Amino acid sequence: MPAEDRAALVLAATPIGDSRDASPRLLDELARADLVAAEDTRRLRRLTDRLDVVVAGEVVSYHEHNEASRTPELVQRIAAGARLLLVTDAGMPSVSDPGYRLVQACVAEDLPVTCVPGPSAVLMALAVSGLPVDRFCFEGFLPRKAGERERALAALVDEPRTMVFFEAPHRLAATLTSMVSVLGEDRPAAVCRELTKTYEEVRRGPLADLADWATDGVKGEITVVVAGRPAGEATVSDPAEVIPEVLERVGSGERLKDVTRDLAARTGLSARAIYDQAIRAR
């Protein structure tokens, strides 16, 4: 049986903005799938209308609110011989979108899983950022709360690879401000907005400049690319340098052990050395 006719889970990338980026394989899979699971069935309908393709199979919703309950049913359909096409609103399923849970369940049942490659905001943003792309990591969305966000960034201070983040437009200014605070105002970065769309824009520069620009408000889908720590950049070598921050954070209600662990990850210092010096300072 040809591979394209076999029962399988097919993860298919959809356009991130411009519908002309849809691949011929995506159109073929939409037309032949027994079952199409879509993050938003209305958006799928709008896409298929623009592509002038008719979905012959059954269409069901599959999103963050029902993926836990719907996954077993979809796995059973594949096991019974269905070819299931999974699409999200934009880009590749399971990359900051529903899909991972279903892939994991199919792998556990030894069911075929394949992919229709296509548009990716992560890769496009990397390509146009002007930052090193030989090594990179994808960090998805940072936490919404400022303290949690800055702790997450603190764990990335010494990350040498270029980092890619997704962010909502209304949180971009706060996120860039946190990045300035934790990663440094001179760290090179790029903010990529509305990729492949009519008002596509890429802003490049130091984090401080980008944070200033974002204070006026930004619209659209946002991908942020940040340079990794330069090789040989000096790191903190003396625990005494971080003790003022330790005392301030503990005074604000954080646990001493949590603060020392966080600062150890951020600076490379020994958590025990920070802890002992903080005890003496108190």
Q: What is the pLDDT of residue 134?
A: 94
From CA 249, how far away is CA 251, in angstroms rounded? 5
Q: What is the pLDDT of residue 113?
A: 97
Residues in the chain, pLDDT under 50: 1, 234
Question: In terms of Cα–Cα distance, which of 89, 108, 105 is closest to 97?
Answer: 89
Mean pLDDT, the chain, whole residue set: 92
Domain assignments of the chain as residue spans, ordered by start: 3-119, 122-226, 239-281
Q: String of b and e for 127-137 (b: at least 16 CB within 10 Å)?
A: ebbebeeeebe
- Kindly give, in sequence order, each residue whose CB lies less than 8 Å from that of residue 192, ignoring residues fewer than 6 positions away: 121, 124, 125, 128, 129, 201, 202, 222, 223, 224, 225
Q: What is the pLDDT of residue 233?
A: 57
In the CATH scheme, what is the code of domain 3-119? Answer: 3.40.1010.10
Q: Which residue type is seen at 254?
A: E
For residue range 45-96, list pLDDT tens digits in order: 999 999 999 999 999 999 999 999 999 999 999 999 999 999 999 999 998 8
What six digits make up the tokens of 130? Answer: 């002007």
Residue 53 CB neighbour total at 10 angstroms: 16
Q: What is the pLDDT of residue 1?
A: 47
From CA 143, how far away is CA 157, in angstroms rounded? 16
Task: Please indicate, yes or no, whether the overall pTM of this predicted structure exceeds 0.75.
Answer: yes
122-226: which CATH architecture?
A: 2-Layer Sandwich (3.30)
Per DSSP, the residues of the chain read: --GGGS-EEEEE-B-SS-GGG--HHHHHHHHH-SEEEES-HHHHHHHHHHHT----SEEEE--TTTHHHHHHHHHHHHHTT-EEEEE-SSB-TTSSSTTHHHHHHHHHTT--EEEE----HHHHHHHHH-S--SSEEEEEEPPSSHHHHHHHHHTTTT--SEEEEEE-GGGHHHHHHHHHHHH-TT-EEEEEESTTSTT-EEEEEEHHHHHHHHTT---S-EEEEEPPPPTT------GGGTHHHHHHHHHTT--HHHHHHHHHHHH---HHHHHHHHHHH-
Q: What is the pLDDT of residue 265?
A: 66
